[in-house]
Amino acid sequence: MFGGLKEKLQAARNKLGSSIGAIASAPAEAGEAAAPATPGTTPATIHTAETSGAAPAPAAGFVEKMKVLITERELIVSDKNIADALSELEMTLLESDVALPVTDAIIAHVRKGLVGKHRKIGESVDDLVVGALKNALLEVLGKGFNLAEYIKTHEHPVKILFTGVNGTGKTTTVAKIGAYLKKQGYTVVIGAGDTFRAGAIEQIGVHAERLGIKIIQHQEGADPSAVLYDTVQYALSHKIDVVLADTAGRFHNKSNLMNQLDKIRRVMKPDLIVYVDEAVAGNDAVIRASEFDRTVGADAVVLTKADMDSRGGAAISIAHTIGKPLMFLGVGQAYDDILPFDPEQVVEELLGGS
Amino acid sequence: MLDGLSTSLKDALKKLAGKTVVDRAAVDELIKDLQRALISSDVNVKLVMELSKAIRTRSLDEELPKGTNVREHVLRIVYQELVRLVWASTEVKLEPQTILMAGLQGSGKTTTTGKMARYFQKKGLKVGVICADTFRPGAYDQLATLCNKIHVPIFGDPKATDARQIVKDGLVALKDQELIIVDTQGRHALEADLIQEIIDLNAITKATHRWLVIDAALGQSASEQARRFHEAIGIDGVIITKMDGTAKGGGAMSAVAETKSGIVFIGSGETIEDLERFDPDGFISRLLGMGDLKALAEKVEQAAIAEDMDVNAMMKGKFTLRDMYKQLEALNKMGPLKQIMGMLPMGNMQLPEGVYDVTSTKMVRYRIIMDSMSPKELDDPGLLNSSRMQRIAHGAGATQEEVRELLKYYKMMQRTLKTMRGGGGKFNMQRLMKRFSGMQ
C-alpha cells in the first residue's frame, strides 16, 4: 500500500517545488532590471502580496513587494503561484482514493502552509514544500496505536470488539490479531459474535482451531450479545489476557443492526472498539466510519486488503474523518500478514528522499 | 455532507435554469460540480475527466433544442453520456449456461451466488452451484447453507485444496442441471497464482458468462482491478453488491467502462431474495445525488410546453381559457398523445386503448371552439352565458354541448392547478388523467 501515492506525491512535490522555484528566479531578474521602474510598468503580476484576500492598495503592495524582494531578499509565495500545482495535488489525492472532503482539507492545509510564506533566497524550495505536505499528512494521520503496549498497561482481560460493514475482513482480522498477540505471549479467547452470516461460525472456528486459540460459539442465529458475554465470562474465570469479539458485518444505515451492536457494547463492555474497513474503499469509507464512530464509538482502526492496491487513500480519509488512530494494516491472506501502523514512518516513506 | 454536494450541483443547475443561451462560464461551473459529484461517488477520476470533456463539448457545440432552457439541455447531455456508459447490453438469457463468478475478497461473491441461484430458480431453470473456494474457511458451509434453504444442489468439498479438480468433478456431478454457477475464491489482480487459477477455471468450465462482483464502496482501484480481471478471463458483466449501504457504486461504473460490459445485477440486502436487475436511471440518480434526473432529461423531449405557458401566472391561480389554449397548442406540438404519456411517470396506470386518439381529436375540437371566442371571453370565462355559447357553437361549427364540455374541462384544469398549488406536491398527472378520461 501507499506505493502509488508515494509516486504521485513525489510528482506533486516536484511540481509545487518548481512552480515556487520559477517565481523565485523570475522576479530576481525582474528585480534587477526594473528596480527603478514605476509601479505601472513593473511586471508585478507574478506575485503580488494579495495573500490575505483583501487587496491592499497597489502602491503599498508594490512597495511591500520590492522591500521583500530587494531589501530583504525574500520571496512571498502567493496563491496564484501554486494554484496549478495544488490542483494537481488535488487530483493526486483523489486518484489515490482520498475522499473528496478530506482532499479539500489537506489542500487547504498545504495552501495555508505555503501561501504567504516568506522564503529566504537561500532556503530550499524542496524543504518548504515537503514541510507543508508532511505537516498536512501528519496532521491527518495522527498518532498510531500500539496494541501490545495498550494490553501491557491495562487490566486483563482486555476486551476488544471488532465492528464494520459487510465483507471488510473482520473475521480474518480477528484471527490475525489473535495470532499476533499469541506470538507476543498473551493468552487469547475469541468470541464468535457473527451468528448471522451463513458459514461465519465455521469460518472463525477453523481459524481458531488452526491457531490453537480457544473459541466460544453458539448456534447460528443466536444472540451475539450472549455469545460475547459468555466469552468475557470465560476469560475472567480462566484468567485469559485478551478477548477478541468478532461481530457480523452490518451497514451503518440499518438502525436495528446498529442497535444490536450497541447492545453488544453494553453487555460486554469492551475496553477497545476496533473499526475494520478495507483499504480499497472509496468515498463511502468516510460516511460509514463517521456513522460507526457516532453510534457505537471507535477507538482504533484496522485497514484490511492493503495489499490489493497501492493507493491507501482510505487510511487518510478515515483517520481524518473520525480522528482515531490506525492500529494495523492487513496485507495478505496469511496469519502474519498484518503490520502495526506507524504514521511517522509512513509519511517519512511517502515523502522521503528518493 | 453528501447532501451538501448534491445541493451544490443543484445550485449550479439552477443558474442555468432561466438561461436560453449557453453560458460558457455557467456550463464550466456545472461541469466542475458534476465532476465533484461523480468523484465523490467513486467514479474513476480519469473517466470523470473524459466524461466531463465530452459533456462540455456537446453542451457548447450542440444547438439548443427549441423551447428548452440551458439547464435542460445540459442535463439531457449529462444523462445521455452516463447512460451510454452503463447501459451496455446486459441481457440475462434464461437458457442453459455456465456462469463463473470473479471478484476481490469480501466483495460478496458467495452471497451473490446464492441470490443468483434463487433468481434463476424462480425463473424456472434447474440450477446447480459449485463451490470452488478452497481457501476461505467456512466458504463451503456458507454456500451450502444458502443453497439448502432453496433446495438447489451444491457441489463442493470443504477439505479439498484443488479448485480445478473440484470444478471438473462438479461439472460432471451437476451435468443434469441447466444453469451452473461457479463460486470462486476472492482474489485480487496482484496475486498471480490466483489469477492463473481463474484463467484455468474459465477454460475448464467453458463459462458462458464471467461476471465480476464489485462492492459498491470500491474506490479508484476498481478500474485497475477490472482491467486485470478482464485481461485474464474477459469479463462480460458486472454485479454491484452492498447497494443497501450508503456507497454509490461509482467503482462499478469504472469497472463497466474498463471491461466494456454492462451491469447485470444489483445486490441490496442480506436475504437471498435481495437481487435486482440493473436500472440505469436509479443508478445514475444515485451517483449524482439527485433523484429527478430522468424526469428533467425527458422534459426536453416535451420541448414546446415551457416556451408557451406562463407557468408563474398559473401557479398564482390565474388560469384563463387563453392559457388553456396555449396548453393545448403545446400538447399538440409534442406529437401523438400516446407517446407523451409513455414518458410521464404515471406508475402502472393503464389507460383504455381508445382514449388516446379520442382525446387528441377532442383537443383539436376544443381549440377550434376557442378560436371562435372573443379575446375578452378568453381572458374572463365568467362572461360566457348561453347566448354567447350559442354564438360560439355556431361560429365553430359545434354544438352547445361541446362548448359546455370545454368549459367543464377548463374548470377541471383550473381546479387541478389549484390543488397542485395548494398541496405543494407534484402535478398529479394521474388524477388529472382519470378525470380527463372520465369525460369521454
Mean pLDDT of chain B: 79
Could you give the CA distance from residue B159 to residue B118 in angstroms, rounded to a whole number? 26
Inter-chain contact B45–A201, Cβ cutoff 8 Å? no
| Confidence (pLDDT) at B306 | 43
Inter-chain contact A166–B108, Cβ cutoff 8 Å? yes
Q: Which residues on B lie below 8 Å from A202 (Cβ)?
A: 137-138, 141-142
| Distance, CA of A189 to chain centre | 29
| B152 close to B121: Cβ distance less than 8 angstroms | yes
Residue from A89, A252, A309 to probe the interface with B (highest B Cβ count within 10 Å):
A309
The complex scores an ipTM of: 0.79
Q: Which residues of chain A are modeled with pLDDT < 50?
A: 28-59, 69-71, 354
Residue of chain A with shortest Cα separation from B159: A206
Q: Which residues on B lie below 8 Å from A284 (Cβ)?
A: 42, 216-217, 245-248
| Confidence (pLDDT) at A299 | 95
Which range has highest mean pLDDT (B128-137, B260-269, B284-293)?
B128-137
Which positions ≥6 away from B77 have C-beta within 8 Å? B55, B58, B59, B62
Give, as one character, the DSSP assignment of residue A96: T
Give how far B140 is from chain A: nearest CA, Å.
Answer: 7
Inter-chain contact A333–B216, Cβ cutoff 8 Å? no
Inter-chain contact B219–A204, Cβ cutoff 8 Å? no
- Selecting from A94, A197, A207 the residue whose C-beta is nearest the C-beta of B137 gives A207
- What is the mean predicted confidence (pLDDT) over B422-429? 42
| Confidence (pLDDT) at A10 | 78
| Confidence (pLDDT) at B329 | 67
- What is the mean predicted confidence (pLDDT) over B400-412? 83
Which positions ≥6 away from B247 have C-beta within 8 Å? A281, A282, A283, A284, A287, B42, B215, B216, B217
B64 pLDDT band, cuts 50/70/90, is: confident
| Confidence (pLDDT) at A41 | 40
Inter-chain contact A251–B244, Cβ cutoff 8 Å? yes
Inter-chain contact A281–B136, Cβ cutoff 8 Å? no
- Selecting from A165, A203, A308 the residue whose C-beta is nearest the C-beta of B245 gives A165
Residue of chain A with shortest Cα separation from B247: A284
| Confidence (pLDDT) at A161 | 97
pLDDT above 90 as % of chain B: 41
Which range has highest mean pLDDT (A315-324, A338-347, B303-312, B404-413)?
A315-324
B17 pLDDT band, cuts 50/70/90, is: low
Of A47-61, A265-279, B182-196, B284-298, the range with the lowest mean pLDDT is: A47-61
Could you give the CA distance from residue A158 to residue A299 in angstroms, rounded to a whole number? 13
- Looking at the predicted structure, is the pLDDT value of residue B357 above 60? no
| Confidence (pLDDT) at B417 | 59
| Confidence (pLDDT) at A122 | 58
Inter-chain contact B190–A95, Cβ cutoff 8 Å? no
- Looking at the predicted structure, is the pLDDT value of residue B267 above 60? yes
| Confidence (pLDDT) at B218 | 93
Selection from A325, A351, A324, A326 nearest residue A338 by Cα: A326
- Three-state SS sequence of chain B: CHHHHHHHHHHHHHHHHCCCCCCHHHHHHHHHHHHHHHHHCCCCHHHHHHHHHHHHHHHHHCCCCCCCCHHHHHHHHHHHHHHHHHCCCCCCCCCCEEEEEEECCCCCHHHHHHHHHHHHHHCCCCEEEEECCCCCCCHHHHHHHHHHHCCCCEECCCCCCCHHHHHHHHHHHCCCCCEEEEECCCCCCCCHHHHHHHHHHHHHHCCCEEEEEEECCECCHHHHHHHHHHHHHCCCEEEEECCCCCCCCHHHHHHHHHHCCCEEEEECCCCCCCEEECCHHHHHHHHHCCCCHHHHHHHHHCCHHHHHCCHHHHHCCCCCHHHHHHHHHHHHHCCCHHHHHHHCCCCCCCCCCCHHHHHHHHHHHHHHHHHCCCHHHHHCHHHCCHHHHHHHHHHHCCCHHHHHHHHHHHHHHHHHHHHHHHHCCCCCHHHHHHHHHHCC
What's this model's pTM, rounded to 2 decimal places? 0.73
Q: Does residue B13 or residue A214 have the better pLDDT?
A: A214
Residue of chain B with shortest Cα separation from A284: B247
- Selecting from A95, A286, A333 the residue whose C-beta is nearest the C-beta of B45 gives A95
Query: Which tens digits make up the pLDDT trace of B23-49?
Result: 788 888 888 888 888 888 899 999 999
Could you give the CA distance from residue B383 to residue B389 in angstroms, rounded to a whole number? 10
Q: Does residue A146 or residue B356 have the better pLDDT?
A: A146
Inter-chain contact B45–A311, Cβ cutoff 8 Å? no
Residue from A283, A294, A333 to probe the interface with B (highest B Cβ count within 10 Å):
A283
- Looking at the predicted structure, is the pLDDT value of residue B132 above 60? yes
Inter-chain contact A251–B219, Cβ cutoff 8 Å? no
Q: Which residues on B lie below 8 Å from A314 (Cβ)?
A: 219
Residue from B145, B161, B191, B215 to probe the interface with A (highest A Cβ count within 10 Å):
B215
CA distances from B133 to B109, B184, B265 (A): 10, 5, 22
| Confidence (pLDDT) at A212 | 96
Query: Which tens digits make up the pLDDT trace of B225-241?
Result: 999 999 999 999 999 99
| Confidence (pLDDT) at B293 | 57
Inter-chain contact A199–B36, Cβ cutoff 8 Å? no
Burial B267-279 (b: 16+ CB within 10 A, else e): bebbebebbbebe
| Confidence (pLDDT) at B342 | 42
| Confidence (pLDDT) at A151 | 95
